[in-house]
């Protein structure tokens, strides 16, 4: 456990120092850390190491989605699958719906009238925001090609394959969790390299643990 944490922290710090260097970009006026509403990323999470208080260390991999709702705020969500566990958030449904609604011309600036169509837009956008906003991050630029993003996840679902040496006799342990963490994002052209670490705890207090991992994604700009 401690060796995994040590390796991760060394990699995290190395990338952080590397990200502070000023790189020559094809367009010197282009700033990778200037985000606009509607920008989104799709990332492959590989690996994710869950260090659970009951089940020990478990590797996994999966998919992560991120959509920016402003220059520094984003909604994030992921789906991670391992041999003995599954983790996901409602944003895996909400973020695609958000992107679909944006593509159809629905947005916060489009609502506020009194027609039936306006009311429908309010309800649709409200539902999408609830589904998307379970995990949100704030992005702090480091130079023009990287940023740190502390994040909070208000509703993370996790199912563990119960080991025979635990107190519970259930085959699976399922919990709703709260998590807080930090991620470092290094932008290389359209690609994003992101080591991260977070601490999670079940709302019922039955277990807690750490996640450390790395993702590689592709950045799509809205404009």
Is-contact 68 15, C-beta < 8 A? no
pLDDT over 90 (residue 31): no
User: What pLDDT is stored for residue 222 in this prediction?
Assistant: 85
Q: Report helix, strand or coil for 10.
A: helix
DSSP state of 170: -
Average pLDDT over residues 122-132: 72
User: What pLDDT is stored for residue 72 in this prediction?
Assistant: 94
Is-contact 217 43, C-beta < 8 A? yes
- Which residues neighbour 186 within 8 Å (Cβ) at sequence distance 6 or greater? 15, 18, 19, 145, 146, 192, 193, 194
pLDDT over 70 (residue 106): no
What is the C-alpha separation between 25 and 21, in angstroms, rounded?
12
What range does the domain containing 149 cover? 2-90+133-220
| pLDDT tens digits along 179-199 | 999 999 999 999 999 999 999
pLDDT over 90 (residue 141): yes
CA dihedral (55, 59, 60, 66) in degrees, to 10, reads 100
In a domain, 8, yes or no: yes
Q: What is the CATH number of the domain that holds 16?
A: 2.40.160.20
User: What pLDDT is stored for residue 100 in this prediction?
Assistant: 81
In a domain, 34, yes or no: yes
| pLDDT tens digits along 144-171 | 899 999 999 999 999 988 655 455 556 6
Based on the structure, what is the number of domains in the chain? 1
pLDDT over 70 (residue 18): no
Average pLDDT over residues 104-122: 55
pLDDT over 70 (residue 212): yes
pLDDT over 70 (residue 42): yes
pLDDT over 90 (residue 59): yes
User: What pLDDT is stored for residue 107 in this prediction?
Assistant: 55
In a domain, 7, yes or no: yes
In a domain, 108, yes or no: no
Burial 199-220 (b: 16+ CB within 10 A, else e): ebbbeeeebbbbbbbbbebebe
In a domain, 122, yes or no: no
In a domain, 202, yes or no: yes
Greater pLDDT, 28 or 172: 172
| pLDDT tens digits along 67-83 | 998 899 999 999 999 98
User: What pLDDT is stored for residue 164 in this prediction?
Assistant: 54
Q: Report helix, strand or coil for 46.
A: strand
Q: Report helix, strand or coil for 95.
A: helix
Quote the mean pLDDT of the chain: 80
In a domain, 35, yes or no: yes
In a domain, 111, yes or no: no
Greater pLDDT, 170 or 4: 170
């Amino acid at each position: 456990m401690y060796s995994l944490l040590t390796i991760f922290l060394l990699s995290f710090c190395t990338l952080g120092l590397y990200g502070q260097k000023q790189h020559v970009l094809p367009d010197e006026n282009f700033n990778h850390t200037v985000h606009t509403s509607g920008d989104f990323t799709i990332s492959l999470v590989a690996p994710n190491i869950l260090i659970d208080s009951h089940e020990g260390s478990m590797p996994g991999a999966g998919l992560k989605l991120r959509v920016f709702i402003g220059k520094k705020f984003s909604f994030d969500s992921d789906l991670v699958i391992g041999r003995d566990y599954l983790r996901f958030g409602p944003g895996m449904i909400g973020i695609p719906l958000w992107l679909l609604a944006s593509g159809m011309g629905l947005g916060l600036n489009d609502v506020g009238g009194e027609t039936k169509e306006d009311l429908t837009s309010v309800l649709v956008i409200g539902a999408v925001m609830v589904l998307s906003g379970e995990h949100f991050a704030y992005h702090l630029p480091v130079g023009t090609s990287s940023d740190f993003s502390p994040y909070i996840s208000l509703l993370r679902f996790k199912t563990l394959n119960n080991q025979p040496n635990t107190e519970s006799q259930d085959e699976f342990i399922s919990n709703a969790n709260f998590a807080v963490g930090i991620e470092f994002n290094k932008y290389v052209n359209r690609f994003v390299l992101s080591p991260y670490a977070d601490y999670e705890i079940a709302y019922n207090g039955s277990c807690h643990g750490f996640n450390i991992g790395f993702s590689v994604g592709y950045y799509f700009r809205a404009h």
